[in-house]
Amino acid sequence: MNSNTKILLGLGLLACTACTTTTKTDQDTDKDTTIVVNQPASPVIVEERVVEEPAQPATTNAISSKQVSDGTINVTKVNVLGSIMTVELMLDNPEKNAININFPADNIYYIDDATAKKNSLLKDDAGKVMLTPTNSEGKKMRYLGSDKMVLMSLKFAAPPAESKTISLTLGDYGTFDGLPITRQ
């Protein structure tokens, strides 16, 4: 508490030591009533404390998680809609350390656990891979920064309807095995 606040509190207490009120009777005559408050022998010290609760980790609905050099990577979604499968990931970086994600799109793929077939990322009409974050050429997963959280999205051709799980390989971050597929 700063000294200005203490002075204001002291003045407020001093002002409250002698209060005067006016009351009117039925005869419209004024009577003054004085209330005297005895000041305590020792000064009153008011201290303000701010209690900070520890930060709670962000809650995610992770299908699978893995500790990596840049933090914790969580697979949050493996969903097929039509003929496209979308995989969403979140890199949790609570310390806000510098992150340098830089690996070629060729190192990102999934293996259909039912057929053992390897599937690469989809490409758009310009030949850029369908992933975020990416570099300007669209050929690498690229992120440089120190955000608390980095969201990543990958697009693949959907596995056959009878496939229930995939194993995702994500460059330097390794493999996430047995990820369940949801379908819409």
pLDDT value for 25: 52
pLDDT value for 37: 60
pLDDT value for 159: 96
pLDDT value for 146: 74
Domains of the chain: 1-51 (no CATH), 64-183 (2.60.40)
Residue ranges in the chain modelled with pLDDT below 70: 1-60
- How many residues are present in the chain? 184
- CB contact at 8 A, 74 and 90: yes
Task: Tell me the pTM.
Answer: 0.64
pLDDT value for 74: 92
**What burial class does residue 110 get, using C-beta atoms within 10 Å of its C-beta: 0-12 exposed, 13-18 middle, 19+ buried?**
buried
